[in-house]
């Protein structure tokens, strides 16, 4: 993991509860890289991860001989270093002051607010919801506004159903979920780009997707968190429901499928906090309820995240592979090839557990295991893991290129699933 990548993760994982008049700061927070050389050291690091709000372990503690980057609050540095020395755990200092590193980044583009709806800037939740509503009048009988439930702060989880020929015939269904992690702005931007292309493109491959499939698209699966990234903390990840003295749970660790068995935390202040119980977060629970009403109608499920450029498929809770893994591998291969064709963007991936890290309780796994959807994917969008770009703060100039190549991948994905006989 590059220094730049580590620093951005550190920024993103600082869980600080702030009022709407304050903005998150990380003055004098340090980043250390530690490595456990045996199971005893790994267990000690895991204990530290679960016991201290002043230490933020990036991506969790999972493996021996794997570098683990840790954000350390200023007052915790002496105790942290003493504990590492006492347990003979190797470490190296990566950054002394995260705030100065943050201020070095030019985020002019990423904080832009477009007057008219488009893909030159990142949009607010209000702008996107207004645009979604407008599509129902611009495309009557084709676009229908749908609600995937409510949030803790009583916002609607709005999406659109796109059905050519007014749903007069039964067609395969494709469900696209984005923005479940609030700070990953490129995910909802890509989802809305695809909505627009489905409705306006004259490209034959995209028109085929529009005319021959029913689409259920939710650009913002975590609206409260997304609003918070605009008003208070650009790098907020979780929901906004309070849990003790901390706020939010990871809505992509909260689904009731092997919940909190691996790759999640029981610490309410952790960025991967699974919640006090499965479906404790209204966002995950209400969206799952809506998805269950579509059982038998969803043939492909796609979840957009960022970043690292992965195409992923079940499972996240185990190394055990799905029984149709050979089909997943075929779809994976054509998808990453299609994404690379336009701009040369290189994706990797595979099953979640091995390709990226263990992560139980994700939407992709729950859908695969509970509603009969045999093709369920997560796409981690731009930038790549070793990019000099700032991760979640992807410049707005890359929204359209990301949307173009991602749609190329979706076209290939859907066509390969069709060739494999999943649409009957």
Question: pLDDT band at residue 389, thresholds of 50, 70 and 90?
Answer: very low
What pLDDT does 57 receive?
73
Give the gyration radius of the chain's Cα atoms. Answer: 21
Q: Is the pLDDT of residue 294 over 70?
A: yes
Which is nearest to 154 in space by CA: 252, 239, 253, 246? 239
Residue 4, CA distances (Å) to 98, 205, 355 in order: 11, 38, 21
Task: State the pLDDT at residue 6.
Answer: 42
Q: Which domains does the chain have, with CATH numbers?
A: 3-104 (3.30.70.340), 110-419 (3.40.630.10)
Q: Is the pLDDT at 208 greater than 90, yes or no? A: yes
Average confidence score pLDDT of the chain: 89
Q: Which of 84-93, 160-169, 354-363 has the lowest mean pLDDT?
A: 160-169
* Cβ pair 161, 148 in contact under 8 A: no
Which residues are catalytic, by number? 380
pLDDT attached to residue 13: 44
Cα–Cα dist 289/162, whole Å: 20
The tally of CA atoms less than 13 A away on the side-chain side of residue 408 is 19
pLDDT recorded at residue 393? 79
CA distance 275 to 277: 5
- Residues 297-335: pLDDT tens digits? 999 999 999 988 999 999 999 999 999 999 999 999 999
Say what the pLDDT of residue 59 is. Answer: 62
pLDDT for position 168: 66
For the chain, what percent of residues have pLDDT higher than 90? 71
pLDDT at 23: 78
Task: Quote the pLDDT of residue 103.
Answer: 64
pLDDT of res. 67: 76
Question: Contact at 8 Å (CB) between 352 and 378?
Answer: yes
The model's confidence at residue 167, banded by pLDDT at 50, 70 and 90, is low
CB atoms within 10 A of CB 209: 22
- pLDDT higher than threshold 80 for residue 12: no
Please calculate the CA angle 156-161-167 and round it to the nearest 5 degrees.
145
Average pLDDT of 377-405?
83
Cα 162 from Cα 405, distance rounded (Å): 21
């Amino acid at each position: 993991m590059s220094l730049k990548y580590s620093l951005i993760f550190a920024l993103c994982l600082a869980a600080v509860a702030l009022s709407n008049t304050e903005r998150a700061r990380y003055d004098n927070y340090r980043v250390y890289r530690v490595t456990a050389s045996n199971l005893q050291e790994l267990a000690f690091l895991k204990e530290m991860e679960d016991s201290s709000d002043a230490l933020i372990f990036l991506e969790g503690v999972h493996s021996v001989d794997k570098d683990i980057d840790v954000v350390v609050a200023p007052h915790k540095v002496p105790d942290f270093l003493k504990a590492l020395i006492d347990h003979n755990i190797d470490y190296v200092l990566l950054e002394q002051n995260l705030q100065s590193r943050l201020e070095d980044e030019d985020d002019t583009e990423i904080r832009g607010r477009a007057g008219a709806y488009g893909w030159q800037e990142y949009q607010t939740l209000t702008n996107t919801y207004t645009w979604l509503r407008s599509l129902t009048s611009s495309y009557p009988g084709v676009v229908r506004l749908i609600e995937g439930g409510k949030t803790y702060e009583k916002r609607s989880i709005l999406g659109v159903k796109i059905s050519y020929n007014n749903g007069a015939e039964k067609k395969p269904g494709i469900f696209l979920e984005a923005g479940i992690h609030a700070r990953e702005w490129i995910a909802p931007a890509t989802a809305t780009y695809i909505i627009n292309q489905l409705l306006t493109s004259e490209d034959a491959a995209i028109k085929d997707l529009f005319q021959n499939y029913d689409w259920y698209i939710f650009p913002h699966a975590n609206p409260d968190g997304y609003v918070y990234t605009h008003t208070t903390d650009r790098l907020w990840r979780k929901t906004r429901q309070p849990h003790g003295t901390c706020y939010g749970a990871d809505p992509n660790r909260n689904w009731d499928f092997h919940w909190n068995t691996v790759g999640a935390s029981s610490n309410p202040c952790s960025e991967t906090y699974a919640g006090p119980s499965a479906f404790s977060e209204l966002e995950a629970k209400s969206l799952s309820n809506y998805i269950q009403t579509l059982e038998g109608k969803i043939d492909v499920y796609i979840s957009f995240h960022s970043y690292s450029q992965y195409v992923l498929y079940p499972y996240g809770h185990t190394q055990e592979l799905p029984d149709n893994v050979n089909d997943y591998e075929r779809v994976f291969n054509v998808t990453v090839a299609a994404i690379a064709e336009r701009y040369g963007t290189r994706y990797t991936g595979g099953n979640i557990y091995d390709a990226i890290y263990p992560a139980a309780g994700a939407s992709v796994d729950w859908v695969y295991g509970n509603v009969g959807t045999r093709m369920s994917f997560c796409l981690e969008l731009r930038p790549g893991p070793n990019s000099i770009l700032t991760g979640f703060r992807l410049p707005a100039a890359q929204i359209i290129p990301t949307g173009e190549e991602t749609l190329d991948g979706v076209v290939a994905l859907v066509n390969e699933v069709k060739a494999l006989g999943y649409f009957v």
